[in-house]
Amino acid sequence: MACLLETPIRMSVLSEVTASSRHYVDRLFDPDPQKVLQGVIDMKNAVIGNNKQKANLIVLGAVPRLLYLLQQETSSTELKTECAVVLGSLAMGTENNVKSLLDCHIIPALLQGLLSPDLKFIEACLRCLRTIFTSPVTPEELLYTDATVIPHLMALLSRSRYTQEYICQIFSHCCKGPDHQTILFNHGAVQNIAHLLTSVSYKVRMQALKCFSVLAFENPQVSMTLVNVLVDGELLPQIFVKMLQRDKPIEMQLTSAKCLTYMCRAGAIRTDDNCIVLKTLPCLVRMCSKERLLEERVEGAETLAYLIEPDVELQRIASITDHLIAMLADYFKYPSSVSAITDIKRLDHDLKHAHELRQAAFKLYASLGANDEDIRKKIIETENMMDRIVTGLSESSVKVRLAAVRCLHSLSRSVQQLRTSFQDHAVWKPLMKVLQNAPDEILVVASSMLCNLLLEFSPSKEPILESGAVELLCGLTQSENPALRVNGIWALMNMAFQAEQKIKADILRSLSTEQLFRLLSDSDLNVLMKTLGLLRNLLSTRPHIDKIMSTHGKQIMQAVTLILEGEHNIEVKEQGLANFLQRARQTLCILANIADGTTAKELIMTNDDILQKIKYYMGHSHVKLQLAAMFCISNLIWNEEEGSQERQDKLRDMGIVDILHKLSQSPDSNLCDKAKMALQQYLA
């Protein structure tokens, strides 16, 4: 078995390596088993804490020989165990070391070693596997390639506290996403790991806790199961609550809070449950204190942001707990000139990771301000907050930029702030810059925020229009990402609302009729609905309606016909009637707008197919569709407009008046009133 070597080593370096390390490798090939064993033990002592020596031995081919000895049936158990220990030590070096070990297929060899009856050897293999699987360069899927591995690991959990610690650590690092959660859950992870929470070993309790946090994350099935699990007569949530008390280690408090947070978000624990309101939330706020280490503050803030994100009451409680909003402002001042850190290594580490604090603060501010106007006001009034967010939009870290945009998006839901703070700081300028060249994840949030800035009452609307937003948004509607298509068309819809004719013409020209009708047949319902909304806003104000219909009338009437025919299509049976009703109502509202035009209404009156569809929807079982169809009829027969008599006569001949009489008896007061008002046009 050969390892893949990277760049060739220069001769001068190679001779140095050979001189200092060659004898360790040579001894692995000695015919005397005792000398081989002693050689492995000496190698173990030589590599402890010595990364250079580890790299030298890997280059000289020690790994294939160690793996050969580990798998040989003739090797003694002691030799196999020592080989596993050395391999584990090599894995504790650099990421390149781990890559070299993976290239030599170390994982299958170690997994095979777990079938041994010898506990010490099993523990050494597990310890090495733990080190390899916790490395960022190791693909988690390697744990799941062989279907027999997970059940065997579950069986080994009962062997010793070391097997418990290592296996739980492997599971918690290799459980990424619902597929892995399902595999572990189906092989009894909950039942096998639950009792470990009461182990005498702190490390075992801690690794078991971490396992539950990754198993419960966004997983209702696991979370609902955890709520009802009993350990020594106590329910798991009660055990988690005990573990987040102040006298417990910070790591344990944080991980317990994550377990309860994930169970709550998965719907297994109510948001108003005391274990959330009185225990989990205050614990996470404590973690945001400047007395905590950087990584604890980051994890605390991000977990709290996730906990409160969908719940307005938790947002309100968090905002008044321990002056949290002001406390988060300290995240932007780290490390300060009077930093209490005297450990140079710690200071160096924190300087490199200070951006993570800013990211976490933005995330938590975004969750806090998601719904409540007073909280948004407090956030914006926090010292230099808008300047900090604007600065965050241009940070080098993509994650910080994304968090800053999310924070800004959350605050942009406030009408008052759109009119004041957002205008004072010209937020639209850096936002437009972000939209020019950003990854999709940032584009989705930034374009969603742009939708808010383009609302009719926003002072930013005009300068955004002048900066070339129409072309940018039309470009987004062609994205393969449905969320970007939705946001692009949504922003154009807001832009077109009560807009001047020139803006509407710019939108239609930049979008093109071909793209508009592609969007009207989009498979994503949200895209279709927003496109109908755009069309409705474009077709408002009589002169605009007539102008647009004079140039695009034929295509628009074709699109309207296709959508209104949808109820009898197979597509509706697949997508659901509720979706169709939304589309039909919006389309009838567009027709009502067209019917309000001076010349545009003739496109309806000369289209018998459309008139029959309006008649059909007047008698539909859904009142909202009947009302929308009634608006069309009212606009067509309105007495004060030229040609109304001819239109009334044609519609009477179609039986519209008979339907109006029936609708005037409707139990729905709104529909009844509209029908009576329409009948009055015939009597006038």
For the stretch 456-465, pLDDT in tens is: 888 888 999 8
pLDDT in tens, 272-305: 999 999 999 999 999 999 999 999 999 999 999 9
Mean pLDDT of 162-180: 97
Q: Which amino acid is at 414?
A: S
User: In Å, how far are 582, 600, 618, 624, 656 from 666, measured between CA atoms?
Assistant: 22, 31, 12, 13, 15
The pLDDT, as a whole number, for residue 363 is 98
Q: In this structure, which long-range contacts are made by residues 134-140, counting pairs with CB atoms below 8 Å and at least 24 apart in sequence?
A: 134/169, 134/170, 134/173, 135/91, 135/95, 135/98, 136/95, 137/95, 137/98, 137/99, 137/102, 138/98, 138/102, 140/173, 140/174, 140/175, 140/176, 140/180
Neighbours of 362 (CB within 10 A): 28
CA neighbor of 357 nearest in space, from 282, 315, 295: 295
Task: List helix spans (H) across 293-384.
Answer: 294-308, 312-319, 324-329, 344-368, 373-381
Residue 276 is given by DSSP the state: I
- How many Å apart are CA 20 and CA 39, to the nearest integer? 14
- The whole-angstrom separation of Cα 458 and Cα 63 is 65
Task: Give the pLDDT score at 218.
Answer: 97
Q: Is residue 170 part of a domain?
A: no
Domain total of the chain: 1
67: pLDDT confidence band, cut at 50, 70 and 90? very high
pLDDT in tens, 611-654: 999 999 999 989 999 999 999 999 999 888 888 899 999 999 99
Determine, yes or no, domain membership for 656: yes
271 in a structural domain:
no
Task: Kindly tell me if the per-residue pLDDT of 338 is higher than 50.
Answer: no
The pLDDT assigned to 19 comes to 61
Structure tokens at 30: 């000695």
The residues near 46 (Cβ < 8 Å, ≥ 6 apart) are 24, 53
Contact status, residue 345 vs residue 329, Cβ threshold 8 Å:
no
Which one, of 610, 635, 625, lies nearest residue 663 by Cα?
625
* Residue 416 resides in a domain: no
Residue 633 is encoded by which pair of tokens? 């009829």
pLDDT band (50, 70, 90) for residue 221 = very high
Q: How confident is the model at residue 351 (pLDDT cuts 50, 70, 90)?
A: confident
Instruction: Provide mean pLDDT across the span 465-485.
Output: 93
H runs (alpha helix) in 217-343: 220-227, 236-243, 250-265, 274, 281-286, 294-308, 312-319, 324-329
The CATH number given to whatever domain includes residue 563 is 1.25.10.10
Check if the beta carbon of residue 624 is closer than 8 Å to that of residue 582. Answer: no
Residue 668 lies in a domain: yes
Its domain, for residue 625, covers: 544-683
Instruction: Say how many Å lie between the first and final Cα of the chain, rounded.
Output: 98
499 phi, psi to nearest 5 deg? -85, 165
Instruction: Enumerate residues 6+ apart whose C-beta is below 8 A from 495.
Output: 454, 461, 465, 469, 470, 473, 503, 507
The Cα 482–Cα 391 span in angstroms is: 29
**pLDDT score recorded for residue 572:** 42
Instruction: Taking residues 341-359, report their average pLDDT.
Output: 81
Please give the torsion angle defined by the CA atoms of residues 408, 411, 412 and 414, in that order, rounded to the nearest 10 degrees. Answer: -170
Cα three-residue angle 327-331-336, rounded to 5 degrees: 105
**Backbone angles phi and psi of 230, in degrees to 5:** -105, 135
CB 628 within 8 Å of CB 617? yes
Question: What is the amino acid identity at position 422?
Answer: F
Q: What CA–CA distance (Å, rounded) separates 520 from 506?
A: 19
Q: Per the domain annotation, does 601 fall within a domain? A: yes
Whole-number Å distance between alpha carbons of 495 and 325: 34
Q: What is the mean pLDDT of residues 102-118?
A: 96
Q: Which whole number is the average pLDDT over 489-513?
A: 92
Place of tokens 């009560």: 498
Give the pLDDT score at 13.
46
Predicted confidence (pLDDT) per residue in 533-578, tens digit: 999 999 988 999 999 999 888 888 988 888 887 654 444 444 567 7
Query: Which tens digit of pLDDT belongs to each residue from 41-53?
Result: 999 999 998 989 9
Q: Which of 333, 331, 251 is nearest to 289 (CA)?
A: 331
How are the residues of the chain apportioned to helix, strand and coil, as percentages rounded to the nearest 5? 75, 0, 25
pLDDT of residue 575: 54
Q: Please, which residues bridge with residue 231 across strands?
A: 234
In a domain, 84, yes or no: no
Q: What is the pLDDT of the chain when averaged over all its residues?
A: 91
Return d(Cα 579, Cα 568) in angstroms, integer.
13
**629 Cβ partners below 8 Å, 6+ apart?**
588, 614, 615, 617, 618, 620
Q: For helices 501-511 and 482-496, what crossing angle results, to 10°?
A: 160
Q: Is the pLDDT of residue 419 over 90?
A: no
Number of C-alpha atoms within 13 angstroms, CB side, residue 198? 12
Domain membership flag for residue 387? no
